[in-house]
Amino acid sequence: EELDEAVDKLAASVARHSYSALSIGKKGFYQQLQMEDFQALNYASEIMATHTQHVDAKEGIRAFIEKRKPTWSDR
């Protein structure tokens, strides 16, 4: 029962985020597993810089500044 509650809590936490952002992050994470440390760091930096212009990235930043829950584009 305790495990079920923990799983439900984690799933709810993940579900609150942008599906697009989660997908980009997950893909980037797995790509980095095959890289050397410095190469992975450069790759992660490129991914983050590229995707800061994504509509959900902008919405997340705006929502944080305005102290409100974000409204994701993929919902």
pTM > 0.75: no
pLDDT of 11 reads 93
18 neighbors 74 (Cβ within 8 angstroms): yes
Q: Domain segments of the chain: what residues?
A: 2-65
Q: What number does CATH give the domain 2-65?
A: 1.10.12
pLDDT of 66 reads 98
Distance CA 15, CA 37 (A): 30
Torsion of CA 45, 47, 50, 54, to 10 degrees: -130
pLDDT of 1 reads 84
Task: Dump pLDDT digits (tens) for 16-75.
Answer: 999 999 999 999 999 999 999 999 999 999 999 999 999 999 999 999 999 999 999 987
If you ran DSSP here, which 8-state letter would residue 1 be given? -
